Structure 1
Amino acid sequence: MTTATKSSSKPKIESKKLIVVDDTPIDQQIEHLIRTHKELNITRHRDANLKLKQGADHDGAKLLPEASRKRLEDGGIDLSKGYPEVPDRNDIPVFVDQAYAIRDYDVSFDDRAKHADPEKKALFGAAKEVINLTDKVGTEIVGLQLENLTDQQKDELALLVAERVVVFFRDQKLSPQAQWDLGDYFGNVEKHPQVPHVTGLPGATVIWNDYKIQKGLDLNYSNINMSNWDSVRHLPLGNNAWHSDLVHERQPAGYTHLHLDTIPETGGDTMWASGYAAYDKLSDNFKKFLDGKEAVYISAHSYLDRKDPLGGTKRVERIHPIIRTHPATGWKSLFVNRGMTKRIVGVSPIESDLILNFLFDIYEKNADIQVRFKWRNTKPGYGTSAIWDNRISTHRNVWDHEGKSPRHGTRVTSLAEKPYFDPESKSQREALGLPLKKWE
């Protein structure tokens, strides 16, 4: 019998590296990276070069113009914490499904304009003067303080805005909180998930291009208006493209209130155009074609697609009627804007582009349906307010002062109803008995 000889040598064990496989889904890894890496731009803002950090900005507070600083401090804003304030990175959507989910449900809305006295006796009776700046759009109220309006006057103001598109108040002493409260009275205040707001007051958005330029926004004389020719190839910069606010929302913006507390000596105007008047520029046959049609409306901000996070960005898209009926006036309005109306549902892409570009031009090229407002006050240390209805208008800033003098303000937007089209509603001119051209 043969006995096996046992080796006295120890077996050789090869050294191997421990490999840890991260089986966390790739979308969660990307979201974690974006939220935690300081060099990544969480805001995914349309102003591509703009880099904002979360929290209140101490450097920004140092840049504040003196008039703005005084208004904010008088209004109880603690600027020692910094200014403005960018939402926490954990609250800013990374993926488009997160952006959809923010307000993807119905919210009750009661348009205060429907409760107003049609003759507006309380509002007009208390004013020193009521000035219509043009025939179709824009009214200035003289001698009233927005902070002191009664509820009845607020209701009548809402109706006036619904009829005149935009209403102006110069020489206002108005705190950001009082501005927010008025917006809350008019509707559901929108708290923007990305953009800077007044420190401690989400929903009071800061309008301050000078600050954005300090943070990397490339805004200059050569590129400022390029998106008004092609908003796809040239993204809007500094609110200078014709647009309506928040059209991608399930319930888009109704009343918006912009208050400027620092105003350039020359320039820095804002323009508005009437959607009622734009609709009435169309021929009867073209109105019939558009009545009942719908379009896709997109968000200003872009997000990643969770299913394809490396495949580029996407935007929130909603479908709304091209012609919408205002619930208070009952008038039809052309509801499109160059920056955020993507395509018409039910027609070919070529037809959609041709029709939409024509409709954008209706708004932008008819000076008789526009108003251009100069923000200047008559009293030092006061601000000026504009309140407009996004359901029946488009607007744009005019950056002609090129930042040579400061411009700062705060904006509060109230979300309204889901857009709808009532086939029994009338156009403004039809309702008022004004003549319309009959094309042969």
Structure 2
Amino acid sequence: MSKIETSILVEAKEPDTETLLVLNDIPLDEQVEGLIRNHKELNITRHRSEKLALSSGPDPTGLKILPASSRQRFEESGIDVSRGYPEVPDRSQIPVFVDQAFAIRNYDLPYTERGKNADKDKKSLFGAATEVINLTKNVGTEIVGLQLENLTDQQKDELALLIAERVVVFFRDQKLSPKTQRKLGEYWGHVEVHPQTPQVPDLPGVTVIWNDYKIKQGMNLNYSNNNLGNWDATKNPAIGNQVWHADLVHERQPAGYTHLHLDAIPGVGGDTIWASGYAAYDKLSDEFKQLLDGKEAVYISAHGYLDRDDPFSGPKKVERVHPIVRTHPATGWKYLFVNRAMTRRIVGFSPVESDLILNYLFDVYEKNADIQVRFKWSNTKTGYGTSAIWDNRIAQHRAVWDHEGKDARHGTRVTSLAEKPYFDPDSKSQRESLGKYLHKWE
């Protein structure tokens, strides 16, 4: 036994009860970490709003409710789920202290922007499609007649550019294995392996999007509370993924291209909405843009961790500072990089000033319907799935939980980390670059 293990004694008093006895021969932070890693009821390592204490490894209980279409996809892909589903990361690998979480990938990752030198006309990609449909003027494109698993590298590069321009691109009727999904993510960047999120067995980096499973495990998601975080995310927990957000903004190199593939889709409901950061920036007056250009904000993690020096002070978030206006390396366009769930404050502003400005910027994203697209995931072929691939740098998104879990909704997600955020003062906005009209406020 290790020193930590021998300092934690579990003494049985009655059947099905335990008493934890902590010895004082090692530092307090090590004792706390040992307790959390060895006692599953101490669920500080799980998302606060979900209050789940999942057991490590493949979960047999999840397998019992796995949708038939999802299981068929796994079987056709040669993925063994016989031991259980999903696979929950081992508690020994989950960060306990905020410094441990901050240290994950706290170094430069090599990154190549695949869309930067792609053919701007996208002849290879569009030429192989049977139809290309822009779902709105400003955001969202659907490509018909292509299978993602068959794309050439040239088509992947052109797709990356298209996503960077249109924010999110959709593909219905896809036969796509999770392994191929991960391989595509690896082409676009460093695939993020989340230390806490349930994943497809033996496929780290392919995370599971499945609220039905979390509800079965005790997550309190219902008709009344599923949107509360969209009013005030600091006071109301973000349960599930219904609050407007962008993924992994606390990373040293935040999320770039994210690919969600749904293999179980409600007949009605369960849509997802995306909003464009390019267009949000262009909604601002020139004076306001000048105020924000070059400013930085503090971005936080979705999960909370303990402070090693004060472990009983409550959960703390990983914090990282990035530009509040970023420049996209593929398009060269400026975009507004904020989201209600995980942007904490603007550096250098008073708390009151920061809150006023940020809440307005959140509203710009959330209340302008002309910079959003709402997508219905339905297929046209039985036994196929639908994919959405978006650029997390320039998008906020949120799910719509109107089906209330009555129909199964299950999918797998792969996120590729992109460049370290930067702001180029010589870059232009999207509308400025495209020669579109920009209102001059009197």
1:169 aligned residue: 171
Query: 3-state SS of the aligned residue for 1:232?
Result: coil
**Matched letter for residue 435 of structure 1:** Y
Q: Distance in 1 between matches of 2:42 and 2:202?
A: 25
1:183 aligned residue: 185
Q: Distance in 1 between matches of 2:24 and 2:318?
A: 31
Among 101, 110, 113, the residue aligned to 2:112: 110
2:17 aligned residue: none
Q: Distance in 1 between matches of 2:97 and 2:360?
A: 33
Q: Distance in 2 between matches of 1:39 and 1:58?
A: 19
1:305 aligned residue: 307
Q: CA deviation at 1:198?
A: 0.4
1:99 aligned residue: 101
1:375 aligned residue: 377
Among 403, 408, 411, the residue aligned to 1:409: 411
Query: 3-state SS of the aligned residue for 1:100?
Result: helix
Q: Does 1:140 align with 2:142?
A: yes
Q: CA deviation at 1:38?
A: 2.7
2:53 aligned residue: 51
Among 339, 342, 345, the residue aligned to 2:344: 342
Q: Distance in 2 between matches of 1:250 and 1:202?
A: 20
Query: 3-state SS of the aligned residue for 1:272?
Result: strand
Aligned CA-pair RMSD: 0.9
**Equivalent residue runs for 1:212-231 within 5 Å:** 212-231=214-233
Among 153, 159, 162, the residue aligned to 1:160: 162
Query: 3-state SS of the aligned residue for 2:82?
Result: helix
1:237 aligned residue: 239
**Contiguous gaps of at least 5 residues in structure 1:** 1-19
**Matched letter for residue 151 of structure 2:** L
Q: Distance in 2 between matches of 1:44 and 1:405?
A: 26
Q: Distance in 2 between matches of 1:424 and 1:181?
A: 35
1:208 aligned residue: 210
**Post-superposition CA distance 1:357-378 (Å, at most 9, x none):** 0000000000000000000000
Q: Distance in 2 between matches of 1:77 and 1:21?
A: 44
**Equivalent residue runs for 1:27-46 within 5 Å:** 27-41=29-43, 43-46=45-48
The TM-score normalised by the length of structure 2 is 0.94
1:436 aligned residue: 438
Change in CA separation of 1:341 and 1:264 when aligned onto 2, cut-off 3 Å? same
Which stretch shifts more, 158-167 or 33-42?
A: 33-42
Whether contact under 8 Å (2:40, 2:54) holds in the other structure is no
**Contiguous gaps of at least 5 residues in structure 2:** 1-21
Q: CA deviation at 1:39?
A: 1.8
**Post-superposition CA distance 1:63-116 (Å, at most 9, x none):** 100000000111111111211011111100000011011111011100100131
2:281 aligned residue: 279
Whether contact under 8 Å (1:162, 1:389) holds in the other structure is yes
**Matched letter for residue 258 of structure 1:** L
1:13 aligned residue: none
The TM-score normalised by the length of structure 1 is 0.95
Query: 3-state SS of the aligned residue for 2:159?
Result: helix
1:197 aligned residue: 199
**Matched letter for residue 239 of structure 1:** N
Q: CA deviation at 1:279?
A: 0.2
Q: Does 1:131 align with 2:133?
A: yes
**Matched letter for residue 383 of structure 1:** G
Query: 3-state SS of the aligned residue for 1:266?
Result: coil
Q: Distance in 2 between matches of 1:126 and 1:146?
A: 12
1:293 aligned residue: 295
Q: CA deviation at 1:338?
A: 0.1
Change in CA separation of 1:21 and 1:53 when aligned onto 2, cut-off 3 Å? closer
Query: 3-state SS of the aligned residue for 1:210?
Result: helix
**Matched letter for residue 386 of structure 1:** A
2:85 aligned residue: 83
Which stretch shifts more, 234-243 or 166-175?
A: 234-243
1:427 aligned residue: 429
Among 56, 75, 80, the residue aligned to 1:73: 75
**Structure of higher CA gyration radius:** 1
Whether contact under 8 Å (2:44, 2:305) holds in the other structure is no
How many residue pairs were aligned?
Answer: 421
**Matched letter for residue 190 of structure 1:** E
Whether contact under 8 Å (1:116, 1:159) holds in the other structure is yes
Q: CA deviation at 1:42?
A: 5.1
Query: 3-state SS of the aligned residue for 1:299?
Result: strand
Q: CA deviation at 1:53?
A: 1.2
Whether contact under 8 Å (2:40, 2:53) holds in the other structure is no
Q: CA deviation at 1:239?
A: 0.5
**Post-superposition CA distance 1:289-337 (Å, at most 9, x none):** 0000000000000000000011111110000000000000000000000
Q: Distance in 1 between matches of 2:136 and 2:66?
A: 34
Among 314, 317, 330, the residue aligned to 1:315: 317
1:7 aligned residue: none
1:384 aligned residue: 386
Q: CA deviation at 1:21?
A: 6.6
Whether contact under 8 Å (1:267, 1:374) holds in the other structure is yes
1:329 aligned residue: 331
Q: Distance in 2 between matches of 1:277 and 1:409?
A: 28
2:7 aligned residue: none
Query: 3-state SS of the aligned residue for 1:152?
Result: helix
Whether contact under 8 Å (1:46, 1:300) holds in the other structure is no
